[in-house]
Structure formats: structure tokens, C-alpha cells
Amino acid sequence: MSIWLAIPSKRLPEEAEKCLKEWRERGYKIALWRDDDLPIMLDKRFCAMKYPGYASALNQMCGVILYEDPQAEWIVAAGDDTLPDPNHSAEEIALECRYHFEDLNGGNARDETFGVMQPTGDRWHEGVGGFTNAPIDRVAGSPWIGREFARRMYGGAGPYWHEYTHCFVDEELQQVAEKLGVFWQRRDLIHKHMNWARGATDKEVVNVDRMPAFLAEANSPEHWRKFKRIFTERKAAGFPGHEPIA
């Protein structure tokens, strides 16, 4: 059994490595997408191609991982500003996910990785922006995606709808997994999201003093409006195309 962290990164290698080190120490393998030729320590795959947006990049990375590593059971899809749960190893969480989804899917061992699990213990944004709960309750921003879910969803294309480049990619994932009855939220696990807006301390692994320049477009009103329209229309239509293959 192996558990992967799959992320895109535009940070300088020495900065990204601070975050990746935390995941390696907890037992995760690393798959990293970079669209430049900056060297960085990787476990298996270096994607030196133009970044196509989050959904397409993660779909491609999941496909490579599943093909090249038959032992891969879970892929954590996150960013280079998210830290792993500090109190549990990758294998401990993976086993809990396996047993949970096997029971949820009727005891079928084939479906023990057909599911999505999101740690929600990082409550940093709770009560902000009019939300009663933390935003992490409504979006799967750093999910554990099971092998069978990644393999079968969207007609075999991957776990994400390909149109999203940043915003709403995580919200559709959660709502589709909920629609299929295979979504699990865990308040007892923490993926600390070092979002640029949360404020920095001198002990943080990732510098969060201000928004990185490479996130400017993804956080613009124009981006939000465009992808909110896509999400709203797809939700009203029942998220067409999400259906899994056998």
C-alpha cells in the first residue's frame, strides 16, 4: 500500500521543499507538477509541461500514479501551502479509510477505495464571510481520493471536472461524492491550510504574509464569476458527466 500527495507548485524549490518535507516524514510519496525547469527533490514524477489548471493537472497526475504504482491506494490532492495531519501517519489514515469505505460500499473489497475523505479539523476561517461553519465544511480542498474513485469518475477521466482551473474544483468534488454517498468528513484530522490570508507567525512552514503573485488571477473577481457560473449551471443539471465507469 502507498499513499501519494499530488500537488502543483509554482513556489521556489527551497520554499516548496519545506512543505514537502512534512509530508515525506509522515509517510507520503510525492508527485509534483511544475511548468518550469527548476530542479526539486521528487519521489517519482516531474511534469515539465505548461500548467493546464488544477483539475486537468490533478487528473493527469492521478492517471500517472495509478498506472505506475499498482500499490497506490489513496491520493491526497492539495497545494504547496497545506500540511499533513501531525498526529497520524499516512498508513494509519489509509487503513481507516479502507475499512470505512469497504463498510460503506456493502463490504465489497473492490470498492474499499471508492470514496473521498476530507479532514476538517483546521477551523481557521470559521465564522468569516457569513459562513456559520468553516469553508472547509463545504469544499473538499485537500481530499484523500481513493484509487477506485480516481480511476472511475467522470467516465474514467479522473476525479475532477476538467473545466475548473482553481475555484469551485473542490466544491464540485465534494458535492459529487456526496451525491454518490461516498464522502466522509473528519474533524479529528487536520490538514492545516497555510492560506495567504490567515496571517503569519515566525513558526510557520509556509510564508503567508501576502498573496503570492501567481495566485492573482485565480483570486480575481473575474475568475470567481466565470467559474461560479459554470459550477451553478452544472449543479442545476446534476453535474453531467460525473458518472463513474464500471
Residue 127 pLDDT more than 80?
A: no
Which distant-in-sequence residues (6+ apart) come within 8 Å of 236 by Cβ?
A: none
pLDDT digits (tens, 9 = 90+) for 185-231: 999 999 998 766 666 554 555 555 566 666 666 668 888 899 999 99
List of domains in the chain = 2-236 (3.90.550)
Q: Mean pLDDT over all residues of the chain?
A: 85
Lowest mean pLDDT among 18-27, 37-46, 123-132: 37-46
Residue 42 pLDDT more than 70?
A: no
Q: 118 near 186, Cβ under 8 Å? A: yes
* pTM across the whole model: 0.87
Q: Which three cell numbers stand for residue 4?
A: 501519494
